[in-house]
Amino acid sequence: MAARAGPVIIAASMLAGCQSSLLDAQGPVGRAQATILINSVVIMLAIVVPTIVATLAFAWWFRASNTRARRRLDWSYSGQIELVTWSIPLLVILFLGGIAWVGSHDLDPSRPLASERKPLRVQVVSLDWKWLFIYPDHGVASVNEMFAPARTPISFELTSASVMNAFFVPQLGSMIYTMNGMATRLHLQADGEGEFLGLSTHFSGDGFQGMRFAFRSVGDDAFQAWVEGARGSASALDRAGYEELAKQSLNAKPASYRAVDPHLFHDIVSQAIPPSGGPEGGQPTPQVSHRSSTFQAPVCTPASPRREPTASLSSPRTRN
């Protein structure tokens, strides 16, 4: 269970009134987490509702005008009442603890999802203030827009080029942190085609609100068509191109790159490429200067009628 209470509250408040919903799960991880949330609420209601009812009932029965009520002013102890008042909370804690224990293992973000299809590898870098997605097996990259074939597991490897951030696609589940000099693992899957909102849930400076991206789950043919289209882009993401991209910018438009330095992600993780200056490191520009695609990040509209992330220091890939 990668999501933690504080960031989830921030994300929920940001998504209020938006089309994306934590309970509108579109993948196996999201559905499992929604089930845990619903089961936890039901278990807690088993003690909350009777307590509220008992409080109202006691207040009504022992009202001043009820002469039938027996008031035992010298009463001080009842073993039966003590048994009830202690056993029910203990059972609630036992059930909630069991759900959390099982869920934290089954939904470990670093645990691959069971599937007959080969996972799609995606390397994610959080920048100031945009998201970079690298597809190492396809040799392309995109900014503030991610494509993935539906019903295919996605194996994420995430890091930050600047300050700590948090990657979250609410309808797919499992928010996870990104940190400079470290790589975290995450496995997600979308079970159908559609467009889902992705966003940052960790405040990181002036451009935080615009740090959103479109997660597009498409068919296999549409994904291959997008890859071919990205390979026809004018820009390539070598080290010089990355350093230009890493400069602070607000509301960066989606863009794609036809080629990517195969060592780029590992150089960022190992800090062979120095980290960015962070929110105080420079003046943001309105948008990135490279060619943008025709796709736009989703806009919030009114809705229609795992355990901490595993962080491990990655070493740079040996160059041939």
Q: What is the pLDDT of residue 288?
A: 41
Weakest-pLDDT range from 90-94, 97-101, 287-291: 287-291
Write a three-state SS string for 159-224: EECCCCEEEECCCCCCCEEECCCCEEEEEECCCCCEEEEEEECCCCCCCHHHCEEEEEEECHHHHH
pLDDT in tens, 147-162: 999 999 999 999 999 8
pLDDT band (50, 70, 90) for residue 14 = very low
Q: What is the pLDDT of residue 178?
A: 94
pLDDT in tens, 189-236: 999 999 999 999 888 888 888 899 999 999 999 999 999 999 998 889
Give the chain's end-to-end CA distance (angstroms, integer): 38
Give the burial class of 191: count Cβ atoms within 10 A of its Cβ; 0-12 exposed, 13-18 middle, 19 or more buried. middle
- Report DSSP state, residue 157: E
Q: What is the pLDDT of residue 284?
A: 55
Q: What value does the mean pLDDT of the chain take? A: 81
Look up residue 316 and give its amino acid.
P
Residue 290 has pLDDT above 80, yes or no: no
Q: Which residue has the tokens 């929920």?
A: 12
Q: In what order do the strands lie in the sheet with 255-257?
A: 255-257, 140-143, 130-135, 120-127, 154-160, 183-188, 311-312
Residue 292 has pLDDT above 70, yes or no: no
Segment 234-250 mean pLDDT = 89
**Cα–Cα distance for residue pair 195/192, rounded to 1 Å:** 10
Non-local (6+) Cβ contacts of 236 within 8 A are: 257, 258, 259, 260
Segment 289-318 mean pLDDT = 40
Residue 124 has pLDDT above 90, yes or no: yes
Weakest-pLDDT range from 84-93, 233-242, 280-289: 280-289
Q: Are 28 and 111 in contact (CB under 8 A)?
A: no
The residue among 236, 315, 320 whose CA lies nearest residue 272 is 315
**Cα–Cα distance for residue pair 21/246, rounded to 1 Å:** 31
CA angle (19 as vertex; 14, 23 as ends), nearest 5: 85
Q: What is the pLDDT of residue 76?
A: 82
CA pseudo-torsion sign 154, 188, 242, 262 = negative
221 C-beta neighbours (distance < 10 Å), count: 9
- Report DSSP state, residue 34: H
Residue 88 has pLDDT above 70, yes or no: yes
**Cα–Cα distance for residue pair 184/30, rounded to 1 Å:** 19
Q: Are 167 and 127 in contact (CB under 8 A)?
A: no
Residue 316 has pLDDT above 90, yes or no: no
**Cα–Cα distance for residue pair 137/120, rounded to 1 Å:** 8
Segment 260-289 mean pLDDT = 75
